[in-house]
Amino acid sequence: MKRLEVGPFAANCYIIGSEISREGIIIDPGDEAGRIMKEVRDSGLDIKIIALTHGHSDHTAALKEVKEETGARIAIHTDDVGTLKQKLLGVFMGAGFKSPPPPDRLLNDGDVVSVSGLELTVIHTPGHSRGSICLIGDGVLFSGDTLFNFGIGRSDLPGSGGNHEQLIKSINSRLLVLGDDIKVYPGHGPGTSIGAERRGNPFLV
């Protein structure tokens, strides 16, 4: 797995792949498409899926270019398609906005995003946006902007359906029920674990 901090908001873009098939998934290509694609080429991976944890532009600004270069299928939760297309929000957040290509697959809770030898299960965690998701597989959780290292996502961004109470409920009922040893790779900042967040996240007390 490779983590790249991209764009003015230092969003985390993850590149993961199967050692068997050399097929891969990009999670949240937030900006700097050239840098992302250089890492893909260096890794030797054939990217098949671009998975979006949500549609905010700081996680999707490089989507158009990465899609064009890889031909990968774009997957996003069905409730965040509107957020993905929202130009005003992109301007508000100060991230580069390019009209994104339409998604190829609409995700729902429990769906599996997979390439040969690699599977990630969708956990719908609304609160940061209507269609925010986390992706879990093989002891690792990609938490998007739902859960951070001793922090939580914002719920006040205009037009994306954020709700603080819903966000806390999502974290408590969908994430903190997971095992303490699950590694968490968030949408911004360093990694953490479910156990560390359960014990010490000040927003979840």
Secondary structure string (H, E, C) spanning the chain: CEEEEECCCCEEEEEEECCCCCEEEEECCCCCHHHHHHHHHHHCCEEEEEECCCCCHHHCCCHHHHHHHHCCEEEEEHHHHHHHCCHHHHHHHCCCCCCCCCCCEEECCCCEEEECCEEEEEEECCCCCCCCEEEEECCEEEEECCEECCEECCCCCCCCCCCHHHHHHHHHHHHCCCCCCCEEEECECCCEEHHHHHHHCHHHC
- Name the superfamily (CATH) of residues 2-204: Ribonuclease Z/Hydroxyacylglutathione hydrolase-like (3.60.15.10)
Rounded mean pLDDT, 101-120: 95
Residue 87 pLDDT level (bands cut at 50, 70, 90):
low
Q: Tell me, what's the pLDDT at 115?
A: 94
Residue 89 pLDDT level (bands cut at 50, 70, 90):
low
What's the predicted TM-score (pTM) here? 0.95
Q: Tell me, what's the pLDDT at 19?
A: 86
